[in-house]
Each structure stands twice: as C-alpha cells, then as structure tokens.
Chain A
Amino acid sequence: MAQPIVQIRQLNKWYGNFHVLRDIDLDVAQGEKIVICGPSGSGKSTLIRCINRLEEHQEGTLMFDGEEIGDGTKSLEDVRKNIGMVFQQFNLFPHMTVLENCALAPMWVLQMPKAEAEAVARKFLERVRIPDQADKYPGQLSGGQQQRVAIARALCMNPKVMLFDEPTSALDPEMIKEVLDVMVELGDEGMTMVCVTHEMGFARQVADRVIFMDAGEIVEQNNPEAFFANPQNERTKLFLSQVL
C-alpha cells in the first residue's frame, strides 16, 4: 500500500497552558477525502492548520509526503507550496485583481513566466466557473465568487493536498451551493482533501471518511454511511442530533 501523504502520530498542541490537541493520530491516504466535524473549540481548525504549519505543535510527529514538518523543517515554503489551503474568510488579496491573486504564487514561488502563470490562472478560474471575473477586484465579487477564486488560487499551485477550513461558514445561504459544487467536482477528480465543515450533505456525498472531534481529541471516525447511520459514541450521537 502506498505511503499516506499525511501521517500524524501522537500530536499534541498547547496554546499557553490550554491543551488544544491531544494525542491525535491521523493518516490521510493519497486521493482520500476526509471531513472533520465537531463543535466549535474542538481543535479541528487547529489540526488542519498544523498540517501546513500555520500552527506549531509541541509534541508528536507530523509527516507530509515523507518529510517531517516541525522545528527542523528546512524550507517551510517548499512544504507549503504543495499544500493548498482555503480559509473561512477567503483571505483574497484585495489590492490585486482576481487574475493577479491566482497568478501570484505560480510566478513568485514556482518562478513561472507571467504569461504562463496567467494562463494557469485562467484555466483554474474556468474550472471554478468565473473566467469572466478575472479582471475584477475581490471587493467587487460576492462571497461565493470570492471563495471560488480562493479555491482557484490554491489549485494554481498544483497542490498534493487541499485543506478547507470551514469554507462555507461565512457565506450567505444562497451561495453555499456554488462553492460546494466546486468542491464536489474537485473530489470527483481525485484531489486529496481534508475539509473542516458543518455541511453534512457534502460529507455524505464526497467523504471517504468522517472524523468527529471534541475537546482536542478524535472521538470517532468512520465511513460516512456508518458514521451517520450508526454512530458509536454518545458524544457523536448528541452532536449529530443537533446538526442534522
């Protein structure tokens, strides 16, 4: 069996004295789609932010594509360019057009010539179905469009894994579907995805595995059918009874 792309062993993290992540073990296989859910404050966002080291962990090991991520990582930039991330608040760069947002990292990190980077950007804007907005500024787009640009921006780096940190939580209800549709397509194409989300419909449709976290621990994980039909843990049952 191929080596997992992400391999987490006994990961522990503290914010000051607060123990946020407790003994996390998690493997993400190539092409696997994982949905992480749980109440707020359960550490799910912190966990995925550890994968590209936007957060530092204090104990345990975290391997990405065979390389350990930690204090000894020589080039964090080389790791991060292979991990795409989509944020709850989109975090597009407001002073650049949509096209410039997408072409920025290919030009400056992958050293692509400008024309080539823009061609890549246009290709992915096409894929998230907003090619006609390329020359607008993020502030001129709706939330759903901005989030799709953010997805395209991450895809332009041709990442090995995509991390989604509550990508639809800041959106108006009418716009959630357009973002989820893009994510579903991405999953169908075989992208490895780790999504923190409360969209249980998405989890059912796309996920290979659903993970439930509470108080910094992985409480339960299973394939979506079993997870939703037959949760094992009382805590999971309570959570599902409240969100479904």
Chain B
Amino acid sequence: MSATWQPKPARPAPTHVVGVWGWMRQNLFATPGDVLLTIIAALALYYTIDVVFHWAIIDASFSGTDRTACLKEVQGACWPFIEAKFGQFIYGRYPEAERWRVDLVYLIGFVGLVPLLVPQIGWKRANVIFMLGPFPIFAFLMLTGGAFGLVAVETTDWGGLLVTLVVAITGIVASLPLGILLALGRRSEMSIVRSLCIGFIEIFRGVPLITVLFMASVMLPLFLPDGVNFDKLMRCLIGVALFSSAYMAEVIRGGLQAIPKGQYEAAAALGLGYWRVTGLVVLPQALKMTIPGIVNTFIGLFKDTTLVLIVGLFDLLGIVQFHFTDASWATPETHITGYVFAAFVFWVFCFAMSRYSIFMENRLSTDRD
C-alpha cells in the first residue's frame, strides 16, 4: 500500500500582521513602552517642525533691498539677503556680463549628465566620451576665456557654487580612476609598484587636507623654477584629487579583498590575462560592493571643498561668510540665514548623491529578481 503526499495549499497571512493597522500595531504600539516612545517622538517632531516653520516662513522676511527689511520685532529668516546676494553666491566675482558662460557650462553639463545617470537612456559610451573629453575642454575654455573672442576671467575672480562644483567634480572624476589604480598597485605582486602605491596612499592619508592645500598653494611654487607658475585653483584641484584618491584607493582595496580567490582563478583558467581578469571580473564586483564607501568618499570630498577658503579661494560657504561683512545687510538674522542657505545647498547635492547610490545598488543587485 502506498500513500501519495500532497503539499498543503498556502493560506493568506492573518489580517492583524498586514496592512496599515498591522504595520502600526507592530511598529508603533506593540507594548506600553512603545506607545510612550511613539508619543515622545511625535511631540519632539512637532516641536522641531513648529520652530523651523515659524523661523523659515511665518516670521521671515521675503522682500526688501537692505537690512531694514529684516529688523522686525520677532524676526525669522532674512531671505532678501540671499536674494540680493544670490548672484555672488553662485558665480562669485565672475563679471556679470560674462555669467552666461557659466550658465552655458552648467546647462551643457546638466544635459550631458542626466542621460548618463538614467539607465534606460542608451548611447552610454558616446555620452561618457563626451563628458570626459570635449566637455571638460569646452568648460575650461568657456570659464577661463582668453580665446575665441571671450574675455579672460582669472580664476581668482571665480567663486561661490562655481568653485565648489569645479573642485568637487574634478576631484570626483579624477579620484575614482586614480584610486582604482592605486588600489590595484597596492595589491600588485611587483614590489616597487606596491611600495610606491603604499607610500603615496599613506602620505596623503596621514596628512590633513588643509596641509595638502597649503603645500599645494604655498610650498609647491618654491620647488618650481622661477617663472613657472600655475594657477592657484589648478593647484588646489590637483591637491584635492590626490588627497581623495588616497582615500578612494583604500575603499576600493576593501572591495578587492572581498572578492574570493576562486573568481581570479576561474577567470585566469579561461585564458584571460591580468587586465581582463581585473577589468571584466574583479573590478565590476569590487566596485559594486563598495558603492556605499565610494559615495561616502564623494560626499566627504564635496563638503571638504569648503577648505579651499584657507588658501584664499571663495567657495560657496566662503562667499556666504564673506558677505556677512556687508554693513548694509547687518542684522541679527543674517548669519543664520546665510548658513542655513549654504547648508541647504550642500545638503541637496549630497542627498542627491546618496539617493542615487542607493538606486544604483538596488539596480545592480543580482541576488534575486
């Protein structure tokens, strides 16, 4: 005699664990302690939002042309200050008649970047080539001028968001490939290459960015022959790029170490050489694994650009602070409004990078569909 086994049919989950009520019961009101914590958190949230809302909107001034607009009895944010100085914050001392050149670079950069970030849009190869080849050259010629009938604009006149973006984007674009090469070099079997990479990484990681910037702007000229002098902004760019590539190298090395030896062996056994094993099998996995760390370094780099103030370049934060000294806008709320504005702009960029990295992580995940 034999019995035939039939699997039991699946039933739907009990109603008290699904839906909005199920979620709230499980996450907010599961125990008396949870109820208490939920209430405290709700009150704290309400209080915070109330304070911010009053300061930023209800008690704030929105129009005016000088400090008198922001001297109410109960004064919130002084938004006219931002409005009046907005051009300075975005372009620095870039001549007003030439600002269209910056706008054009922003526009083309934006138009080039968006299709690069959206996976559904094709032409990725052409897009990358454009963004890494013609675009930087175009941006350089456009921003510095001095050719094609454009008025030359010294980099000492650049400022605000323009400097922040130029330093950050150059640093980001340069530090990733440099970091990859340094990480590979540090794991190389060739001892000279390995020693050089370790030396570079440890020196730049062991020194504060401020020191690197100082050295780049003050000490470097001492080593160069007389008459050879290159731009201060350029020296900062190189300093920032080298500094962040050392950090990037260590992040990527972490990813490389997590790749099982079997992956190298399987790829090598198929007849792939070192660069193909690295480029086709190891790096794609290592980079995917280290996206959080890479983006962390990018975000750190973006915020560290504020340090260029130390060598006399005015980035966004620097120029905001600079305009606090304008007597015609001297009010008790000017400082905080300016700082909130600068913080908000930095936050928007950093948060965008963070969200995009999460999106990429999910998209690249091959664990399951």
Write the residues of chain A forming the contact surface with B, with a CB cutoff of 8 angstroms. Answer: 52, 54, 77-78, 80-85, 87, 89, 91-95, 104-105, 108-109, 137-140, 150, 153-154, 157
Cβ-neighbour of B270 out of A137, A140, A157 (below 8 A): A157
- Cross-chain contact A77 with B265 (CB below 8 angstroms): no
Given contacts A91-B263, A95-B288, A137-B366, contact A108 B269 (CB under 8 A): no
Given A95-B288, A95-B366, A137-B366, A105 contacting B272 (CB threshold 8 A): yes
Q: Are A80 and B270 in contact (CB under 8 A)?
A: yes
Could you pull out 5 A-B pairs where Cβ atoms are within 8 angstroms?
A52-B269, A91-B260, A108-B276, A109-B276, A139-B367
Asked if B266 lies at the interface with its beta carbon under 8 angstroms from chain A, I say yes
Cβ–Cβ contact B265 & A91, under 8 A: yes
Say yes or no: B272 contacts A93, CB within 8 Å.
no
Given B269, B288, B368, which contacts A54 in the complex, CB threshold below 8 Å? B269
The reply to whether B369 and A77 contact each other, CB–CB distance below 8 Å, is no
Contact of B366 among A52, A82, A139 (CB under 8 A): A139
* Interchain CA distance A154-B271 in the complex, whole Å: 10
User: Which of A54, A77, A85 contacts B273, CB < 8 Å?
Assistant: A77
Q: A80-B269, A140-B369, A157-B271 are in contact. List 4 more A-B contacts (CB 8 A).
A: A77-B272, A85-B269, A137-B366, A157-B270
Contacts of A138 in B (CB 8 A): 366
Q: Which residue of B lies closest to A137 (CB)?
A: B366
Cβ–Cβ contact B285 & A77, under 8 A = no
Which A residues are in CB contact (< 8 Å) with B366? 94-95, 137-139
**Contact A78 B288, beta carbon cutoff 8 Å:** no
| Residues of chain B lying within 8 A (CB to CB) of residue A94 | 285, 366
Contacts of B268 in A (CB 8 A): 54, 80
Query: Looking across the interface, which residue of chain A has its beta carbon closest to that of B274?
Result: A77
Question: In the complex, are the beta carbons of A81 and B262 less than 8 A apart?
Answer: no
User: Which residues of A lie under 8 Å from residue B367 when comparing CB positions?
Assistant: 137, 139
A149 CA / B364 CA spacing, docked (Å): 21
Residues on A with C-beta less than 8 A from B265 are 54, 87, 91
Q: Which residue of B lies closest to A81 (CB)?
A: B271
CB of B265, distance to nearest CB on chain A (Å): 5
Quote the shortest CB–CB distance from B259 to chain A (angstroms): 10
What's the Cα separation between A89 and B276 when bound, in Å? Answer: 22
A8 CB, min distance to chain B CBs, angstroms: 18
B280 within 8 A of A: yes
- Which residues of the other chain, A, contact B273 by a CB distance below 8 angstroms? 77
Contact A109 B262 (CB under 8 A): no
Q: Which residue of B262, B265, B271, B288 has the most chain A CB atoms within 10 A of its CB atom?
A: B271
| B267 is an interface residue with CB less than 8 A from chain A | yes
> Are A91 and B266 closer than 8 Å at their CB atoms?
yes
Q: How far is the CA of A157 from the CA of B270 in the complex (A)?
A: 8
Task: Tell me whether A108 and B368 are in contact (CB under 8 A).
Answer: no
Interface residue? B166 (CB, 8 A): no
B281 in the interface, Cβ–Cβ < 8 Å?
yes
Cβ of B95 within 8 Å of any chain A Cβ, yes or no, is no
Which of A91, A109, A140 contacts B272, CB < 8 Å?
A109
Identify which of A89, A91, A92, A104 gathers the most chain B CB atoms within 10 Å of its CB.
Answer: A91
Q: Which residues of A contact B262 (CB under 8 A)?
A: 87, 89, 91
